[in-house]
């Protein structure tokens, strides 16, 4: 199995369970053979960012996915994949209000987007894909804004928040692709983001963790 075929969750049996009773089993980042016409999915769930209150902490991840969709569809897919697994950890039995419906919709979105996003992947593996985009984002937005003398604090805070989310997803992807090590410059950038997030994020109107 190649890097692009591995799942975030290891040791799961094959075959997706539509009822989600047993969680994200079998959901992998490999190309799907399912006919996309057979997949029913409501874009309303994500266009309106209707996330159940019990899953509020995944909202920033889905926001980042939507923001980078057009620029790097595979990275957006990886963010949604991570959000799905995080949602399952938060509510494995899908007992919260609206959770089962939300997770089902997100699962269908992942099944629909996997193959086309994989075809548009720039790098050889998912780990390299998100790592390269993280570095690109850090240089283009975080450092660029930070070096401006009169940069908007809200704008800087949002850039740092987005970078934090991307690194969180990057680490999750990296754990499943054995042999893939995070480049030193990526780690250095992440440390810089972590230190300065404490300064800028309090001024951001989009908190990283919702309460």
Same-domain status, 8 and 100: yes
Structural domain includes residue 180: yes
Domain count, the chain: 2
Same-domain status, 48 and 63: yes
Report CA-CA distances (Å) from 171 to 38, 91, 190, 201.
Answer: 33, 22, 11, 21
Same-domain status, 76 and 166: no
Same-domain status, 49 and 64: yes
Same-domain status, 185 and 150: yes
Same-domain status, 13 and 89: yes
Same-domain status, 53 and 101: yes
Q: For the whole model, what pTM was predicted?
A: 0.74
Question: What digits encode the pLDDT tens for the residues 84-99?
Answer: 999 999 999 999 999 9
Q: Of 25-29, 74-78, 160-164, where does the model show the most confidence?
A: 74-78
Which of 94, 119, 144 is the endpoint of a domain? 119
Same-domain status, 49 and 101: yes
Same-domain status, 77 and 132: no
For residue 162, give its domain range.
Answer: 126-203
Question: What digits encode the pLDDT tens for the residues 143-176?
Answer: 887 777 666 777 888 888 999 999 999 999 988 7
Closest CA to 156 of 164, 165, 145, 167: 145
∠199-57-17 over CA atoms, to 5°?
150
């Amino acid at each position: 199995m190649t890097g692009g075929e591995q799942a975030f969750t290891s040791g799961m049996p094959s075959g997706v369970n539509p009822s989600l009773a047993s969680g994200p089993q079998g959901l992998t980042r490999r190309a799907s053979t399912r006919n996309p016409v057979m997949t029913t999915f409501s874009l309303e769930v994500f266009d309106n960012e209707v996330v159940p209150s019990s899953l509020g902490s995944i909202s920033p991840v889905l926001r980042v996915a939507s923001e980078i969709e057009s620029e790097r569809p595979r990275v957006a897919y990886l963010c949604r994949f991570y959000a799905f697994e995080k949602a399952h950890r938060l509510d494995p039995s899908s007992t919260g209000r609206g959770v089962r419906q939300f997770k089902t919709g997100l699962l269908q979105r992942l099944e629909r987007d996997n193959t086309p996003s994989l075809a548009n992947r720039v790098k050889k593996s998912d780990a390299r894909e998100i790592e390269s985009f993280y570095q690109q984002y850090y240089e283009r937005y975080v450092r660029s804004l930070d070096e401006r003398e009169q940069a908007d604090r809200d704008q800087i805070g949002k850039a740092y928040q987005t970078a934090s989310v991307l690194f969180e997803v990057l680490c999750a992807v990296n754990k499943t692709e054995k042999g893939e090590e995070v480049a030193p410059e990526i780690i250095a950038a992440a440390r810089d983001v972590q230190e300065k997030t404490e300064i800028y994020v309090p001024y951001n109107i989009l908190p990283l963790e919702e309460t």
